[in-house]
Structure 1
Amino acid sequence: MRRRPPWSRRRVWRITGWKTCDPKPIHAGARSPPNDRHAHPDPLHPRRARRGARPAAGGRGGGLPAGDPLRSDGAPGRGDRGGERGDIAILTAEGIAAQAAAGVLDGASRVDLCRSSVGVAVRAGAPHPDISTPEAFRDALLAAPTLAYSRAGASGIFFAGLIERLGIAAEVNAKATVIPQGFTAELTARGEVALAIQQVSELMAIPGVEIVGPVPEAINTRAVFTAALFQGADARSAALLRWLAAALTPELLRAGGLEPA
């Protein structure tokens, strides 16, 4: 009998992106994920996560609390997953810590996978504003006719606080489209807004836009994404977690707009 690889039949829970999340399992197949030519180049990207089917409630591993899915910042999100179970969870570092403290995840198994920063995108072919310094970034936001950012998740929460700290919240929000979830770059690609604000890896996922760059270092934030086993996960799940951490090379991460942890 052919031995299955360590990722076969494992369930990986990723609390998707940095938006209000809908936990989505990745059912890893018999082929090695690096050879999956249909997968998104960023292994943590929601487009890749969405390829899996949802498991039935009561599967192996620990369980996310019923009625309490998480946002990427570890706070309660929307919806009810009915206590569905997995083997590995990928959340922000804060989310992993919160669920480990709640006894859902095994805190001793946690592994930091990557860092993600917030950036700016414009429609392909449009001029790139200067955002090289905090002052230039502030001026670019004031000069933009329209822009989009997300209401929930790490990038939206960060940006809403940032424009408050810069003293331009009223001016920016008067011309902003604030989406409840999804990709802000989709609006920019359609020509509906001039600037899209979101995590760089999510901006890169949308064709028809160009990345201007990250928010200046002095005023930016970096979310650390971390993986951990659910309580009760078995040795094959631990093997998958080790494989995942080793597979996320610096080159692969940077190709997806992420940085090594």
Structure 2
Amino acid sequence: MQAHHLKIKALAAIAALALAAAVQATDLHVVASGGFAQAYKDLSAPFEHASDDHLVSAWGPSMGTTRNAIPARLARGEAIDVVIMVGDALDKLMAEGRLEPGSKVVLANSPIACAVRLGAARPDIGTVDGLRQAFLGASHVAYSDSASGEYIKHELLDKLGIKQQMDGKAAQIPATPVGEIIAQGEADFGCQQKSELKPVKGIEIVGLLPEEVQRRTQFAGAIVRGASHPEAGAALLRFLASPANAAAVEATGLEPAGEQR
């Protein structure tokens, strides 16, 4: 009888511990932009295993006016704990008071690459002149409405001296990844951050922009002002930035934050 009571007490203790663990585990709401999305996806399961927290993930551009854009989500008051996005856009939201001061963690840098449809001729963009000819030789060129596309639209085409020639055949694509536009045949050449092109099926990455005209985009994360789970959010950002996870980040086409260029 006494053994039976001890067994019941032991089972009750185990149940209490399980309940306590369940109570401590949190649903952490995260919105990430495309450039860091694959690295975040690849590291989500290891983080959940290590922390027992559950990631509730959503996606959206770092800038722009589409409904899913991170600034628009915050303006609507969506319940978000952590944002992962282009560093410059994050700094703007920080200055506006939408993010917790001092919570920014730099995660990676992302170079711009260009791609063509799978099986198409591969232009040589290893030099500035080769890149210029690739733009001019394409029938339709696509670039994004986020950081890389803003650079191409407002600076790169001028640097290449072809802004006027590209009128009418180069287009900024809202929300949809550039790689998907190329894969669908709606553009025969396009450029975006390598980490956003890499997961897309049906395209071939032909190379990075030459260093003379390359523009790397910083990706960073921060805690949203008034977040429900700031401690868990901070733990996630530490995990993503950990040197132990640098290889996983690099495998997605990003340069881990510790690398200097």
Give the TM-score of the pair, scaled to structure 2.
Answer: 0.72
Distance in 2 between residues matched to 1:127 and 1:35, nearest whole Å = 41
Q: Aligned residue for 2:30?
A: 12
**Contact map agreement 2:29 2:57 (CA 8 A) in 1:** no
Identify if the C-alpha distance between structure 1 residues 6 and 112 changes in structure 2 by more than 3 Å, giving closer, same or farther. farther
**Alpha-carbon RMSD:** 3.1
Aligned-partner SS, 2:199:
coil
Identify if the C-alpha distance between structure 1 residues 179 and 6 changes in structure 2 by more than 3 Å, giving closer, same or farther. farther
Structure label with greater radius of gyration: 2
The structure in which a higher percent of residues are helix is 2
**Contact map agreement 1:148 1:184 (CA 8 A) in 2:** yes
Query: Does 1:170 find its partner at 2:164?
Result: yes
1:109 pairs with 98, 103, 108, which one?
103
Cα-to-partner distance string for 1:10-40 (whole Å, 9 max, x where unaligned): 11232x236xxxxxxx9x9xx962389xxxx
Q: Where does structure 1 differ by over 4 angstroms across 4 or more consecutive aligned residues? A: 4-7
2:30 maps to a residue whose letter is V
Aligned-partner SS, 1:192:
coil
**Contact map agreement 1:7 1:237 (CA 8 A) in 2:** no
Distance in 1 between residues matched to 2:169 and 2:66, nearest whole Å = 27
Distance in 2 between residues matched to 1:159 and 1:173, nearest whole Å = 13
> Which structure 1 segments of 5+ residues have no match?
19-25, 37-48, 55-69
> Which structure 2 segments of 5+ residues have no match?
1-16, 49-54
Identify if the C-alpha distance between structure 1 residues 248 and 201 changes in structure 2 by more than 3 Å, giving closer, same or farther. farther
Percent identity reads 36
Q: Aligned residue for 2:241?
A: 245
Distance in 2 between residues matched to 1:169 and 1:225, nearest whole Å = 28
Distance in 2 between residues matched to 1:4 and 1:243, nearest whole Å = 21
Distance in 2 between residues matched to 1:35 and 1:174, nearest whole Å = 46
2:132 pairs with 134, 138, 146, which one?
138
1:89 maps to a residue whose letter is V
Give the TM-score of the pair, scaled to structure 1.
Answer: 0.72
Q: Could you tell me how far 1:225 is from its partner in structure 2? A: 0.7
Cα-to-partner distance string for 1:183-217 (whole Å, 9 max, x where unaligned): 22223223332212111111112101111011111
**Contact map agreement 1:97 1:107 (CA 8 A) in 2:** no
How many aligned residue pairs are there?
A: 219
Distance in 2 between residues matched to 1:5 and 1:205, nearest whole Å = 36
Q: Could you tell me how far 1:221 is from its partner in structure 2? A: 0.6
Cα-to-partner distance string for 1:128-148 (whole Å, 9 max, x where unaligned): 111111122112211223322
